[in-house]
Amino acid sequence: MPKITDIEYFRVPPRWLYVKITADDGSSGWGEASLEGHSEAVEGALEEFKQRFIGEEANGIEHIWQSVWRMGFYRGGPVFQSALSGIDIALWDMKARRLGVPIYELLGGKVRNKIKVYAWIGGDRPDSVKAQAEARKAQGFTAVKMNATADIGWLDTPSSLDSAAERLAMVKSVGMDAGVDFHGRIHKPMAKQLAKLLEPHRPMFIEEPLLSEHPEGIEELSKLTSIPIALGERLYSRWDVKKFLSTHGACIDILQPDIAHVGGISETHKIATMCEAYDVAIAPHCPLGSIALAANFQIAACTPNHVIQEMSLGIHYNTESGDEDIGTYVHNPDVFDVQDGYVSVPSGPGLGIEINEALVRKLSNGAKAWRSGGFVGPDGSLREW
């Protein structure tokens, strides 16, 4: 059985953290451990994993996953799970490449031939959303996601919500479906009002209408609106997800696990199966790099309750800092081509992408860690980002 001989990680622009694992038979695989704004913390966790797993059997994906979860006493959370994601995705890529098949063939095989996708429009203070929606339509998308509001007070003036409904109406006017991301920055007094304002415009979903640490508030809000409720990017394991399917059951309609934060392909696959049992769809969160996106495509291919996939093509996080985008680090960027709102299920081995390792190594040299933003209200108090 092949044994792991090296675990490397590469901080690359615009804000991604790639992982390469090599085995003693010469095989290798790539993963992504990006955790926006906290790269150094994840890199520290990867250093520990490197010491633990060099010499382990490379085929033992579940054993390594369980070792991270159970053998360190402290478990879960964004840092550990993001580092584990990079390891897990790379091991799946390596194993499937060794066998000459896509990863989805090892997870039960395809249930679809193409994957519905959406892209982002608008930044934290969105304007000109109609023009941006038209640009996405020209790229082949039929659906987008947009921010609901700029930063907002705990109890703000009700008129601060009016423009959100106007922007959604503009996007719908060009024939695009739209999800609306509350971003967890809106508290319950405003979220209830905003959901009601958006209802006539029929968004695909409202995302993180409240922060996920308030499941009782989300449950209350779910009873006040007909709009599907989505969340999950800040849930880091099936145990975090569990309360939204049981204790506070029926309060969400779409789960959005982030494959780079939740423990990789292994955990995303298990979470999707849990959700299917509760009639909850999954639409994975992915404003990240090409490896995370390719890993999500593998999940989408074999998951019955997968409904739509986020893509970071041209997202402002990419374009504001340079020229790097999801096609930059791969030799076959055509796997990300969008046509009539869909991407074809990749047919290549492993993740289905071929990493430009020379460019990864070149651009990682001296790459700076990306920092998250933040908002301060007019009274000097901090607001949710």
- So which residues are the catalytic ones? 183, 285
- Rounded CA-CA distance 189/193 in Å is 7
Q: Please choose, from the candidates 243, 263, 260, the residue with its C-alpha nearest in 3D space to the C-alpha of residue 252.
A: 243
Return the amino acid letter for 220: E
CB 160 within 8 A of CB 185: no
CB 298 within 8 A of CB 103: yes
Q: Report DSSP state, residue 73.
A: S
* SS3 annotation, 162-206: HHHHHHHHHHHHCCCEEEEECCCCCCHHHHHHHHHHHHHHCCCCE
CB 53 within 8 A of CB 87: yes
- Rounded CA-CA distance 277/203 in Å is 25
CA dihedral 212, 297, 354, 119 (to 10 degrees): -70
Q: Which pair of tokens denotes residue 66?
A: 């369980």
- Rounded CA-CA distance 297/344 in Å is 9
Q: Which pair of tokens denotes residue 382?
A: 């901090």
Tally of CA atoms within 13 A in the half-sphere of 118 that contains its CB = 21
Length of the chain equals 385
Phi, psi of 382 (to 5 degrees): -80, 140
- Rounded CA-CA distance 177/223 in Å is 23
Q: Report DSSP state, residue 346.
A: P
- Which H or E element spans position 91? helix 77-99
